[in-house]
Amino acid sequence: MTREATVLLISFVLGLSLLDCRHGPSSAVPPKPPLPTASSAGDTTKTTACVDAAGGGSNVGTVVAAATAFRDALPDGLRATLQHPLTRATAIVWSNLPVKLVPRTGVRLGDLDAAQSAAVRRLFAAATTTCGLAMLDEVRLSDDVLATVDKRGLKWGAGNFYVAFLGAPSERAPWILQIGGHHLAYNFTFNGERAGATPLFFGTEPTRFTTADGATHEPLREQSAAMIALAQAIAARPAARLSGKFTDVVKGVVINFPPGQPPTGGLDTAFPLNYPTGTSDRGIRVDALSSDEQALVRRAIESYASLPAQSIAGDLLKAYEAPAAFGQTYVGCAGGADLSKVGTYVRIDGPRGWMEFVVQDGIAFPDKPHYHALWRDKESDYGGEAKQ
Amino acid sequence: MTRAGPAAAGMVAVAVVATIIATIIAASPTAEAHPAPSSSVALTFATRSVKAQLLLPVSELTYAMTDVASQDPGSAHIDERALRRYVVAHVSAESHDGAPWSVAVRAVKAETLDDHDYWAVDMMLTPPPDCDVSDLVLVDDAITREIRNHFIFATARASEAAGTAADVVGILQYPASRLSISGTASHAHAARSGFGSRQARISIVLASLASLAILALLAAGGVRSSTAWSRWICLMGESKAPPFRSPRERAAIRPESPRSCRKRLAGGIDAGRSIPG
């Protein structure tokens, strides 16, 4: 089938198929974001210990119970929107981009009523730590700031975040809890072949803002501070300098750009990924660092790994910080080692863990840079369950 | 249903489809929302040469060509001469045995696509006299050599004949810079045999017949699509790949669920490739 004929036919039938595709999240419903309160959003002037947000420690049973309660609180139509099969094709549908550019799977948080919002919040609390829940709240709040300057209909805003179940919530069978929107992607796998906290993307624009209640927010305050402290500590070591420049994270989503067409996509279509091997251009090994510098590496790793509940990320963190693995981890940086400098890039590249942080150009506020951060696991993204 | 029903239903369906397509086009992503736009290279095979059309985003190219020491992302000034030098230094071709091809930059011009500025560069890649045009290894690290997160999308098509489809043949990201086209040698074969133009005529006839069949079914069953419809649509979506997919590969294609298919068609899920590096 040649291109013109195919395009003619595909356009025709695609249009027809779309006629039957209206069961997804409705864009016509005005957003009703269940905004976190100022206190629940987290006072960023305080240091918060990252304990399980549900209190008393979460386990799979706690998450499954909360997931089931949330599902039961939904009408039939939304239950169908919430529940999807667990396949590679469904798992890779996450992104850092606005939902207008990359529609997300699942139920739109802005479409939930008060009872449903409370139920989904209990689910989020069961699956995250206080830090992970605060990250979700803060990133959504930052998107509300963007919504005030959205002249292109990109669907920024706290209401435009989604939750989906890939596979049925179960204490034994594999399933993924997907929470995502602009600048946030939590993909937590339960009962997978491997512990699955990743891919986990988080970012923010603006990096710091004040809400109407006078509270100041910095969604990535701990992570950006930890990564930049590491970069500043190692930047003077030639072995730690990564070659090249960085305008985004390296192992993030792929934006398709077939010649002659506008860019599309922005999903994890490159999964499974290849990672650097050998010793060249990966930075400096942790076992070559001083104890103070090693402490900075630990702080940076923990700032990422403390977002999911301990039952999800605890084993991963142990694996990353086990003496042998920790010593074999590389840390590297590029750019200015300065949070105000576009192109500042920091990376932790372990036997399993892969954590990136980059300072990017501003999009909504071009004169102010913004942050992207990504955590992947070389062995257990999607818990090893995103198969063909 | 009255006698006018089928025709009216068909017209309504066409109008609705046109509206939906227009809406989709209007809602296309804007380049402003992509802080790190990708590059592309489109290969078109001819009998004795391969045309390579590059699209390089000005923002990323400027940053790539900026002196690292200056720490000023916007300090590089790119004129056409500098661009030509850069492209020749970063894009080349060779045969699988390493024999270098001649590479010439034919034209350079500025283009704006989706509100983002690009340099469009036309190149001609010509193999040595004793090498076949299908024996191509593209070597391209334009921008990716400097910017680690940058992607190059490469496509190939068999000829310039109207209707000849382009396939994504690979995606390059540092440190990967070499793309072997041997796996898609049918591009070159098709170019030599003139396969494309004849196939185009046959395909258009088939497409027209299929469209008429759709309209007839619409008239009989209304405009609401069914699971069977969606599955058929998916299979048609798969047909974009031939003739570059072998019969064995085609046989391995499993029917896809309607939900998965709609997402794939809408989101371009299947366009990704494993990325070395």
Three-state SS sequence of A39-84: CCCCCCCCCCCCCECCCCCCCHHHHHHHHHHHHHCCCHHHHHHHEE
> Would strands A345-349 and A353-360 be described as parallel, antiparallel, or unpaired?
antiparallel
A156 neighbors A98 (Cβ within 8 angstroms): yes
Interchain CB distance below 8 Å, A258 and B271: yes
Residue B114 DSSP symbol? T
Pairs of CB atoms within 8 A across A/B: 258
Mean pLDDT of chain A: 88
Q: Which of A12, A359, A360 to mutate to test the interface with B (most CBs of B within 10 A)?
A: A12
Token couple for A333: 């940086």
Q: Which of A89, A242, A260 sits opposite B260 (nearest CB)?
A: A89
* Measured CA distances, A196 to A135, A272, A320, B173 (Å): 19, 14, 14, 26
Asked if the bond preceding A85 is cis, omega within 30° of 0, the reply is: no
Which residue of B38, B225, B277 is in closest CB contact with A17?
B225
Q: What is the spatial distance between Cα A182 and Cα A24, in angstroms, rounded to a whole number? A: 18
B33 contacts A98? CB cut-off 8 A: yes
Nearby residues of A307 by Cβ (< 8 Å), 6 or more positions away: A50, A128, A129, A131, A132, A135, A186, A197, A200, A202, A313
Confidence of residue B201 (pLDDT cuts 50, 70, 90): very low
The predicted structure's pLDDT at residue A49:
85
Q: What is the pLDDT of residue B70?
A: 53
Question: What is the spatial distance between Cα B153 and Cα B159, in angstroms, rounded to a whole number?
Answer: 19
The DSSP call for residue B69 is: G
> Per-residue pLDDT tens for B52-105?
999 999 989 999 988 655 555 555 667 889 999 999 999 999 999 999 999 999
Q: Which residues of A touch B265 (CB under 8 A)?
A: 10, 14, 17
d(CA A358, CA A202): 11
Phi then psi for A178, rounded to 5 degrees? Answer: -110, 120
Neighbours of A323 (CB within 10 A): 8
| pTM greater than 0.80 (yes/no) | no
Burial of B252 (0-12, 13-18, 19+ CB in 10 A): exposed
Amino acid at B103: V
Which of A14, A102, A343 lies at the smallest CB-CB distance from B265? A14
Contact residues, chain B, for A154 at CB < 8 Å: 33
Contacts of A371 in chain B (CB under 8 A): none
Nearest in space to B178 (alpha carbons), one of B151, B140, B142, B230:
B140
* Most confident by average pLDDT, A9-23, A202-216, B181-195, B200-214: A202-216
As given in the structure block, the two tokens for residue B23 are: 């809406």
Taking the C-alpha atoms of residue A130 and residue A146, their distance in angstroms, rounded to an integer, is 24
CB pair distance less than 8 Å for B146 and A244: yes
pLDDT at A152: 83
Per-residue pLDDT reduced to its tens digit, A303-357: 999 999 999 999 999 999 999 999 999 999 999 999 999 999 999 999 999 999 9
Work out the percent of chain A whose per-residue pLDDT is above 90: 79
Q: Is a pLDDT exceeding 90 seen at residue A144?
A: yes
Alpha carbons A307 and B276: distance in angstroms, whole number: 29
Cβ neighbours of B172 in A, within 8 Å: none
Min distance B96 CA to chain A CA atoms (Å): 24
* Yes or no, beta carbons of A11 and B17 under 8 Å apart: yes
d(CA A257, CA A377): 27
pLDDT value at residue B232: 21
Residue among B29, B229, B258 minimizing CB distance to A101: B29
pLDDT at A126: 97
Calculate how close chain A gets to B182, using CA atoms only, in Å.
20
Q: Which residue is closest to A8 within chain B, CA to CA?
A: B207
* Contact between chains at B207 and A17 (C-beta distance less than 8 A): no
Q: What is the pLDDT of residue A237?
A: 97
Identify the closest residue of chain B to A87 by CA–CA distance: B260
The shortest CB-CB distance from B149 to any of A84, A250, A264 is to A250
Shortest CB distance from B17 goes to which of A12, A20, A267? A12
ipTM higher than the 0.85 cut: no
Q: Indicate the length of chain A as a whole number.
A: 388
Segment B257-261 shows an average pLDDT of 38
| Short-list A235, A308, A254, CA closest to A97 | A254
Using only the alpha carbons of chain A, give its radius of gyration. 21
pLDDT for the residue B130: 87
Q: How far apart are CA B46 and CA B190, in angstroms?
A: 9
pLDDT band (50, 70, 90) for residue A104: very high
pLDDT for residue B274: 24
Residue A20 reports pLDDT greater than 80: no
Contact A332, A240 (CB under 8 A): yes
Q: If phi over 0 gives left and psi between -120 and 50 gives alpha, with beta otherwise, what is residue B148?
A: alpha
Contact B230 A17 (CB under 8 A): yes
Q: Find, in chain A, the residue whose alpha carbon is nearest to that of B218.
A: A16
Which residue of chain B is at minimal alpha-carbon distance from A361? B35
pLDDT of A72 higher than 60: yes
Instruction: Search chain B and give the residue with CA nearest A13.
Output: B233
As a whole number of angstroms, the distance between CA A194 and CA B243 comes to 39
The pLDDT score that the predictor gives to residue A256 is 80
Q: What's the pLDDT score for residue B269?
A: 26
Distance of CA A252 to CAs A4, A183, A184, B4, B31, Å?
A: 33, 12, 12, 53, 18
- What are the CA-CA distances from residue B2 to residues B6, B8, B220 (Å)? 8, 10, 11
Higher pLDDT, A384 or B69: A384
Q: Say how many C-beta atoms besides its own lie within 10 A of residue A291's C-beta.
A: 6
Length of chain B (residues)? 277
Q: How confident is the model at residue B136 (pLDDT cuts 50, 70, 90)?
A: very high
